[in-house]
Amino acid sequence: MTRKNMWVAGVATPVMIAMLLLFAVSPSVKASDQPSAANAAVKIDNFVFGPQTITVPVGTTVTWTNADDIPHTSVSTEGVFKSKVMDTDEKFSYTFTKAGTYPYYCTIHPKMTGKVVVQ
């Protein structure tokens, strides 16, 4: 073993482990300190928003994912948020910063409706 290699084994490895630990720990620290980092998911499947009503704390980012072979949108009935057209597997996210009830629908298939309740 050369001196250089020994340095790698003896010094670099602990440094790397420490860095990895730091990375592993930091997200959980963030999550507990800032509730705004909370996430929730709505899956669009078979022309249905699931769950149809989702209840989340203020500051939650809701992400819609389209699992259908047909494009859909997620648009607030009251003009609060408006997704672009989501083709298969495409996503749309919106962060809810105020409490309230937010009804929404798919503008392409208006029979598809859902609700986000922010508390």
Could you list the residues that contact another protein (CB under 8 A)? 46-48, 68-71, 73, 77, 84-85, 87-88, 103-105, 107-111, 113
What is the arrangement of strands in the sheet containing 61-66, beginning at the earlier edge strand? 48-50, 39-45, 61-66, 91-95
**Between 96 and 104, CB nearer to another protein:** 104
**Between 41 and 48, CB nearer to another protein:** 48
Min CB(54)–another protein separation in Å: 17
Strand 61-66 relative to strand 91-95, pairing: antiparallel
Judge whether 31 and 94 are in contact, CB under 8 Å: no
Longest alpha-carbon distance in the chain: 71
Min CB(118)–another protein separation in Å: 18
**Between 60 and 72, CB nearer to another protein:** 72
